[in-house]
Amino acid sequence: MSGAAAMLLLALAGPARAQEDAAPALPLVVIMTPPAGAVVTGTTTVSANASAGAGVVSVQFLLDGVDLSPPLSAPPYTIVWNTAASGDGMHALAAVARDGAGRAETSPIVRVTSDNVPPAIDAVSASGVGADGAYIRWTTSEPADSRVEYGMTEEYGESTPLSSSRVLERGVALTGLASEALYHYRVWSRDAAGLVAVSPDHVFATAEPAPGASTAAAAGPAAAALSAKAPQKFLSPARADGINDEAVFGPDAREVTIVDARGRRVFRETSSGPPIRWNVKDPSGRVVPSGAYIAVITTRDSSRVYQTFAVVK
Ligand SMILES: [Ca+2]
């Protein structure tokens, strides 16, 4: 192309460009809610603002490039999106605005995460159980916050402050517990979508106070509590050697209830004379699985003591 021809083309392009600028402004459409990066659950509102020099004729929402709504012919450009019907995970929201001149423009994409499944709680355990404290651990299937409810009954009554950091594994300390007491607890976790999971009830028993940490207990009840317990704490029924095959409770034990670490009862017996024996079997006659068990012992003077057992097969 000659230099003169190029100049001519440039000269022609100038006025043509100016004519285009004079056309009505193209539609402009922006998604207002939800914000980019939001975690959405259940039904959520999707809204857009739109304008156009030739007037907005319709706004239509798209999810992952597919129509999410019919075209809306007038503001407010708002729909209710049932996120559960779209499947959990990342989604791309967009809106298309059309103007009176038959032109269409698509909004910038807003990416959000749909979540309709609460976290799954697993591996709940009490460790480091002392005379006045314990450490509760659990895992969740997705990042979630943490709280423990606890108390001496299944009504709990106490709870730890919410730990709001969302994690997969955590340990929460319980402090200020009563010694030699049976505690019920359950754990609680909430995901980024606000969906809450709660574990079943679990139990642990706190230990005796450390020597020297005198509780000034009267000699009588304290002695009865001590003599109600079984001398052994480790039971090994599979060896069948007569040593630690069963728990034999002391003469002051009037009633013994034994629960597993999930709080399920595996044994209960009352005696007015002969010592209560637990042969490490559940009511169906099967030897219980290896694990931790708690005996709730009522003494003849009606006080309550607790003893933990480890069953090792
Ligand atoms: Ca979830």
> 171 CA distance to ligand 1 centroid (A)?
20
Q: How far is the CA of 102 from the centre of ligand 1 (A)?
A: 42
Q: How far is the CA of 164 from the centre of ligand 1 (A)?
A: 15
Residue 21 confidence (pLDDT) above 90:
no
Q: What is the pLDDT of residue 50?
A: 97
Q: From the CA of 158, how far away is ligand 1's center (Å)?
A: 26
Give distance in angstroms: CA of 186 to centre of ligand 1: 19
How remote is the CA of residue 40 from the centroid of ligand 1, in Å? 10
**CA 44 – CA 17 distance, rounded (Å):** 43
Q: How far is the CA of 39 from the centre of ligand 1 (A)?
A: 9
| 121 CA distance to ligand 1 middle (Å) | 11
Structural domains of the chain, with CATH:
3-114 (2.60.40.10), 121-205 (2.60.40.10), 219-311 (2.60.40.3580)
Ligand 1 mean position, distance from CA 43 (Å): 15
Q: What average pLDDT score do residues 12-31 get?
A: 70
Tens-digit pLDDT profile for residues 106-133: 999 999 999 999 999 999 999 988 899 9
Say which residues have a Cβ less than 8 Å from residue 131's Cβ, sequence separation at least 6.
177, 179, 180, 206, 207, 208, 209, 210, 213
For tokens 């392009």, name the residue.
Answer: 13
Task: Compute the distance between CA of residue 156 and CA of residue 185 in angstroms, rounded to an integer.
Answer: 7
Lay out the sheet containing 253-260: strands in order across.
234-235, 304-311, 291-299, 253-260, 265-270
Between the CA of 140 and the centroid of ligand 1 the distance, in Å, is 10
Task: Report how far ligand 1's centroid is from the alpha carbon of 86 (Å).
Answer: 15
Tell how far the Cα of 139 is from the centroid of ligand 1, in angstroms: 14
pTM higher than the cut 0.75? no
Beta bridge partners of 93: 63, 110
Given a cut of 70, whether residue 147 has pLDDT beyond it is yes
- Higher per-residue pLDDT: 209 or 26: 26
pLDDT tens digits along 99-108: 999 999 999 9
Tokens of 265: 């009862």
pLDDT reported for residue 5: 47
Of 68-72, 211-215, 245-249, 272-276, the range with the lowest mean pLDDT is: 211-215
Tell me how far the alpha carbon of residue 124 lies from the centroid of ligand 1, in angstroms.
19
Tokens read off for 67: 């129509």
Q: What is the distance in A from the centroid of ligand 1 to the CA of 147? A: 17
Task: Tally DSSP H helices, then E strands, for the chain.
Answer: 2, 23
Residue 220 parent element (H or E): helix 219-228
- Whether residue 257 is predicted with pLDDT greater than 90 in this model: the reply is yes
